[in-house]
Structure 1
Amino acid sequence: MTLIRTLITAPRHLARTTLAIALVSTLALAGAAQAATTSLNDAWQFHRADNAALASADKAPAGAWSTVSLPHAAHIEPRVPTAPWQGTVFYKKTFDAPLKPGERAILRFEAVMNVADVWLNGKHLGRHLGGYLPFAFDVTNLLKAGGKNEVIVRANNEDNAITGPKPLKELDYIQHGGMYRGVSLVTKPAVHITDEILAATPAGGGVFVTFPQADRVAATVQVKTEVSNTSKTARTVTLRNTLAWQGREVARAEQQVTLKAGERRHVTMPLRVGQPNLWSPQQPNLHVLDTTVSGEGAEDSVQTRIGIRRLAFDKNRLLLNGEPLQLRGVNRHQEYPHVGYALSPQAEYRDALLVKKYGFDYIRLSHYPQSPAFMAAADELGLLVIPGVPGWQYFNKDPAFSKQVLRTCEDMIRRDRNHASVLAWECSLNETDMPDAFVDMLHKTVHTEYPGDQAFSVGWVPRAYDIYMQARQHRLDSKHALPDKPLIVSEYGDWEYYAMNAGFNQTAWGDLKPADRSSRQLLGQGEKHLLQQAANVAEAHDDNFGTPAFADGYWVMFDYARGYAPDLEASGVMSIDRLPKFAAEFFRSQRDPEQVPQPGAQPAAQNWGGGPMVFIASYWTPASSPRVRVFTNAEEVELRLNGKTVARQKAAPSATHPKLKHPPVEFDTGAFQAGELVAVAYTAGKAVAEHKVRTPGAAVKLDVALDDMGVPVGAGDLVFARARLVDADGTTVPDNGQAVTFTAGPGYELVAGPQATTEAGIASVLVRVMQPNGTLGAAAGKLQGALAPK
């Protein structure tokens, strides 16, 4: 039995669901030769070849190896990397893999940065270029029938002209090294469903699900499955597709298939679903499709989570299931501090939760394919995404480069084509002058890999692509006029407030604007700077409504490190430690109050909140402005200071924000008075939300917590630990730069050491969970705190 791929990579609550499906299927198929997926994530030996003399696995002495588990970062970086590590690393592992006669074995890697060479039992399996997508090898004839098998991986993340994008010293992000996603061994019977990556078949391989027709009355779910017979005789099997929603079967189809010896064949089967529960950002209904091949003593099964939905465009409008949809979005880098890309599946899920919580329904995955766990979370939470090929201001005329980009586009679509969350495919090199013929090939590749009317190509040039994606700052030089096609504002709110140019030469450091007017404001820079960022964001988002765009994407969700500058890019609406700035609350206020988590969703998927909201963008200290800005999605707000009403005002359009549906409301308190601010939001005259801010006193202790966001913590997880300065009333004291020392007992490990400093009154460290319910403590001078036991 082949489990859902996300068993290796998805959050634990998804894995449990998958395991339950697998167990039921296994019991039903007892006695047959079954497929199996075995995780190889644990107990790898790791060697970083910092010494050139040790740059091969056989030259490294025994003492040069350490034991690690995947996902794994090749180098633990400081919070702000000033010289990001590049180089060669080795991984090796021994494992047992007994095969029954006729069975096939596939060794699959979900991602290795950036050039990977793999050996099994001394045989070089091959080299894979590109650090963001899976690759696989058929290792049937190389596995030892008895005893140990040894796999060795050499990985290199140094600058590469064929994979691109730019050399690190010129790059606006970092390609962090290591085997940062999972590895699995898949065994299959002689007659089986192929692996979509190993098959390397245009619009084929594995299971490919499309929706030729779907509305609220009925839907056709078309399932295309590639079945292979690797035996030496003809075989007749039954191919069955069963579709379930919330555990209840809603459709089933099956047919007999006879395959010649050595034959591979695609079989297409339609499933008819009456009154389907359609997928949308507001109602992310997910079905489970079970595709099974059985007969003649062999069983193989693949489960695929799908969302039934239809996308279309009416001129510039996006239609989802026939209804117009305006998308509010954000760009995201998948980086964490210290570990780079080596996030746990739960950490990926928490990132998706934060995107949803703070008002976004669309994410541009900048500028590369991101984790399967994040894609699965987007499906579950109702987030539309645009995956993209790696690219940033770089083109190489070597034909090998073009071939690599095209192959990456193909593999990205093959991996992610069944995700309900995919809006379009960015097979376009971001901010790169591409030859016309190359653009045409990329557009054609999208439609070759995903035939029909449900695939859309998107690119930053108007030529060929179905959707044109233009950054707001690129309007400055009118590089491209708006074409007559759907438009997305790809990026906005950052560069146009940072420099007086379009940003095509970001290392020139010219035409820069005053730093205090920029959107690049760290959480620890204080209230005035955070208000400036929020003002920029609101102005720019408002301006986007003056374009025909059906979606926009703020740059960026989280602060991140980059290669060309020894600091953090700080335009994120959240810090690199995943703490919100005022701008995040502005975006939360732009979600309509009717949007709430879907009833019956997984518990973790309920944690993004939604509904009516109000937020006071002030710490209300003596340094605070007496003009208080409030964000809300209600009709009006009353602000009270120490129990007295300052004013009650409509959330009405203004000269600054003429187009925002939910504009900020500003109050003049006259002068600072210590005490409590209370904002009460009203709709139709009824109080629907409230937010309080109290002037903090002196800090008396540290409040220590593990910020798991309600996503169950498991072994190998990465979670931020917080130490919050609080006064005697429990109010956060928003001091910046206070040194805090953390301690971790059994169960938790501090990834990059015990030291942190506060931003807005909170110090954060990254914790690796060895086993749940560990102990944590923190101290700042005389201030103490400890994690409360569960």
Structure 2
Amino acid sequence: MTSFISRLQKQARGFPTIGLLALAVSSAASAATTSLNQSWDFYRDDAKSADTVDKVAPGAWTKVDLPHTARLEAKVPVNSWQGSAYYKKTFDAKVAPGEQAVLRFEGAMNVADVWVNGKHLGTHLGGYLPFSYDITPHLKAGGGNALVVRINNEDNAITGPKPLKDLDYIQYGGIYRDVTLSIKPAVHISDEMLSNTEAGGGVFVTYPQADKKSAIVRIKAEVCNTAGEARTAQLSQRLLFKNARVADGADNIRLAAGECRHVTRDLKVDRPQLWSPKTPNLYSIQTTVSSGGRQDVVTTRAGIRRIALEKGKLLINGEPTFLRGVNRHQEFPYVGYALSPQADYRDALLIKRAGFDYVRLSHYPHSPAFMAAADELGLMVLPGVPGWQYFNPDPAFGAQVVKTCSDMVRRDRNHPSVLAWECSLNETQMPDQLIEKLHKTVHQEYPGDQAYSAGWVPQTYDVYLQARQHRLDDKKPLPNKALIVSEYGDWEYYAMNAGFNQTAWGDLKEADRSSRQLLTDGEKRLLQQAKNLAESHDDNFKTGAVADGYWVMFDYGRGYAPDLESSGVMSIDRLPKFSAEFFRSQRGASETSAKWGGGPMVFIASHWTKDSLPQVRVFSNTDEVELFLNGNSLGKVKSGPSTTHPNLAHPPLEFDAGRFQAGTLKAVAYLNGRKVAEHVVRTPTEPVKLGVAVDDLAVESTDGDLVFIRARLLDANGSVVPDSGKAVTFAAADGYEIVGPGTVTTEAGIASVLVRVKGGKGAISAEAGALRGRL
């Protein structure tokens, strides 16, 4: 796992820059990319009095590093911040005649105005995608350049979606992704966000043909000449697998002054290592343009694969596949969207470990770091444009949605993990003209037969996205196209009307029948959530869908309500609920990976306390499970489809203990008659200590990383005591910074604080009354 960071460092210019990994790939004769993430001055205009940066008092600025959120929010956000804020810094840039300086922002929420040395470069609308500026003519010869950014995240009728008071998630604020400066030689590979040609800019990789025998890797690169005279150049392409050369080729070109040209080359690969969710094999492509003794080198990660989406069928490299999936909001407690690349990777790792192979990126483009992690771990993703139950008839709104679709495809087109493009305003009545335009934009930006548009309406789009709650109310026949169950398992259990108007819940179900259950809601309700998920996931197989996406992976904060949306299979602090283990049991026992684990598993969904039901539920992906109570067998139960779950290969298994007896439950799982896994749960006694640990999932931390520290209430046997609401106070040494409050309460026996790594040396301690723990 630790090699993930070093690999991305080596490939930092091969895809959009990622957090602390925005490093230069340079030599004495190559382009250089520098991170501008460090040491910004920041001012939040809470008084709404600074309409220009000059009106900010000199002593009002604070020092911050990027990624940065405009304001730390409460774990359960109430009245989340909206307004304007300023960021400024100085930087040096040495640019020789003919070179180009490109300033790039990966994400700034939501409207960003940028100035360099007093020159207003432009206003960018939309907070989820990158934007770049050629700042060459605005730089000072002697250095000391002034960069100023004003961001605003107030409700915006052109970018949408709904006003925060009606929105079911929070967009947060700030420059929450990377900022970089690239100094490019006169002849160079263009920045794809600066290119004004259709399906153009940068490096674009496609696979016209790919199977186990051979593949064609088609590489299109845009080469630009910003020198004042014509230049000749050589453009070379080299394909590598595990650092070994697979194929290469070169082209000689001549460019007029100021000319940009796309050059395409096909590389043939014999017996390619194909990419799929089970085998996420990745190649790298080194694109080098050389002219006048200077080079520009761009490295692109690539996964050779072919997908086909038809009614009732998804073929990945010719293999029929059903993708079990989940929706994800990208926020963390307190910092919102301002995640470290390692935190994004851990999210992807948790999703893969939980038995999922597909993620719907709700309801906006997620970070470059998460996309890169999906490629590496084998998670197919469905990126989407920002949109939820909101439409503005102003033509500027439609133009913004189309541009967002185009930019999203352009940023993420080289990721093999992309299944389709959700250029559709979720649960929004869209005009036919806009639907047609969005569908065409996907295919214009990604020509060929490997791009699929997806939308929640049945017409026009290549893939139909239908939430389960809509299907339950919709008696119309399904269209003759691939179907993905976009959401399920939450809303239909929460509100009987299952409609779109979240401000008028007239007929709510009882709380203990909902899928929205916090870890603190107790064993009975967590079992109900898992029951809902098993039932609805089983039901999805009746539709002929090629994939489904449970709503949602992680609990998250909401704009319109002062609570957490708690249907996650994990808490907002990334702690698993019983339902995460249910999904883990749905992955076959034979599927394993050195990166994320897998293999045979068994899990007892019980804390086995006096409040536990004697009917014990067990999740396993094996043939048969035997449950023991205090050494006495409660019998064996075979796995397989049942009358209640006819479509699940591994439905939940039930054992009857007759009555609660304090002691030990042990589940033993068998595969082909052989014991392959076991799980033990002991009745907890009084806590005697705190077990403190860093929950980094063995992903190496660097400065700026965000990671959870856990303090567990442990009894004398080392069992977690699943008490909720017990206050625990954390203290961290100088190598760590606690983000948010230092005193938190336990959830099912575990207290979590988020820390930012600042050197990573020194102890972290926790105490709860007389209980102590130290890391």
1:28-86 Cα deviation digits (max 9, x unpaired): xx4x3x21100000000000001122343111112210000000010000100111111
CA contact (8 A) 1:2 1:301 kept: no
CA contact (8 A) 1:346 1:718 kept: yes
Q: Is 1:764 the counterpart of 2:752 in the alignment? A: yes
Match of residue 186, structure 2, among 168, 181, 190: 190
Q: Is 1:330 the counterpart of 2:338 in the alignment? A: no
Which residue identity lines up with residue 333 of structure 1 in the other structure?
Answer: H
The corresponding residue for 1:74 is 70
Distance 1:509 1:528 in 2: 25
CA-atom RMSD in angstroms: 1.5
Match of residue 297, structure 1, among 277, 283, 293: 293
| Equivalent position SS for 1:537 | helix
TM-score, normalization: structure 2? 0.97
CA contact (8 A) 1:626 1:668 kept: yes
Shift of 1:11: 7.6
Match of residue 654, structure 1, among 642, 645, 650: 642
1:194-245 Cα deviation digits (max 9, x unpaired): 0001113211110000000000100000000000111122111110000100
CA contact (8 A) 1:476 1:501 kept: no
| Equivalent position SS for 2:469 | helix
| Equivalent position SS for 2:175 | coil
Match of residue 410, structure 2, among 414, 419, 422: 414
| Equivalent position SS for 1:351 | helix
The corresponding residue for 1:702 is 690
Which residue identity lines up with residue 656 of structure 1 in the other structure?
Answer: T
Q: Is 1:688 the counterpart of 2:676 in the alignment? A: yes
CA contact (8 A) 2:16 2:106 kept: no
1:387-431 Cα deviation digits (max 9, x unpaired): 000000000000000000000000000000000100000000000
CA contact (8 A) 1:8 1:39 kept: no
Q: Is 1:231 the counterpart of 2:239 in the alignment? A: no
| Equivalent position SS for 1:335 | coil
- The 5-angstrom pairing of residues 57-456 of structure 1 reads 57-456=53-452
Q: Which runs of 5+ in 2 are unaligned?
A: 1-8
1:644-681 Cα deviation digits (max 9, x unpaired): 11111101322221110111110001111111111011
Identity of aligned residues (%): 66
CA contact (8 A) 1:9 1:345 kept: no
Distance 2:134 2:18 in 1: 24
The corresponding residue for 1:740 is 728
Q: Is 1:43 the counterpart of 2:53 in the alignment? A: no
Shift of 1:7: 8.1
Distance 1:152 1:394 in 2: 32
The corresponding residue for 1:785 is 773
Match of residue 631, structure 1, among 595, 613, 619: 619
CA contact (8 A) 2:19 2:67 kept: no
The corresponding residue for 2:5 is none
Shift of 1:510: 1.4
| Equivalent position SS for 1:196 | coil
Distance 1:324 1:466 in 2: 18
**Once structures 1 and 2 are overlaid, which stretch shifts more, 716-725 or 314-323?**
314-323
| Equivalent position SS for 1:58 | helix
Shift of 1:3: 5.6
Q: Is 1:712 the counterpart of 2:700 in the alignment? A: yes
Which residue identity lines up with residue 617 of structure 2 in the other structure?
Answer: R
- The 5-angstrom pairing of residues 2-17 of structure 1 reads 4-5=12-13, 9-10=17-18, 15=21
The corresponding residue for 1:642 is 630
CA contact (8 A) 2:16 2:368 kept: no
Distance 1:468 1:437 in 2: 18
1:519-564 Cα deviation digits (max 9, x unpaired): 0000111100100000000000000011110100000000001111
Distance 1:322 1:732 in 2: 46
| Equivalent position SS for 1:197 | coil
Distance 2:415 2:52 in 1: 39
CA contact (8 A) 2:602 2:679 kept: yes
In structure 2, the CA distance between the partners of 1:749 and 1:480, relative to structure 1 (3 Å rule), is farther
Shift of 1:314: 4.5
CA contact (8 A) 1:3 1:37 kept: no
Match of residue 619, structure 1, among 583, 603, 607: 607
Which residue identity lines up with residue 320 of structure 2 in the other structure?
Answer: P
| Equivalent position SS for 1:579 | coil
| Equivalent position SS for 2:597 | coil
1:222-274 Cα deviation digits (max 9, x unpaired): 00000011112211111000010011110101111111111110000000000
1:430-475 Cα deviation digits (max 9, x unpaired): 0000001110000000000000000000000011000000000002
Distance 1:79 1:630 in 2: 32
The corresponding residue for 1:754 is 742
Distance 1:57 1:727 in 2: 56
Which residue identity lines up with residue 533 of structure 1 in the other structure?
Answer: Q
Shift of 1:501: 1.5
The corresponding residue for 2:584 is 588
Distance 2:49 2:193 in 1: 36
1:556-577 Cα deviation digits (max 9, x unpaired): 0000011111100000000000
Shift of 1:110: 0.3
1:714-735 Cα deviation digits (max 9, x unpaired): 1001111111000111110000
CA contact (8 A) 1:739 1:758 kept: yes
Distance 2:763 2:16 in 1: 27
The corresponding residue for 1:722 is 710
Distance 2:310 2:408 in 1: 27
Which residue identity lines up with residue 614 of structure 1 in the other structure?
Answer: V
| Equivalent position SS for 2:193 | helix
Distance 1:490 1:4 in 2: 32
Which residue identity lines up with residue 495 of structure 1 in the other structure?
Answer: W
CA contact (8 A) 2:15 2:299 kept: no
The corresponding residue for 2:562 is 566
CA contact (8 A) 1:560 1:568 kept: yes
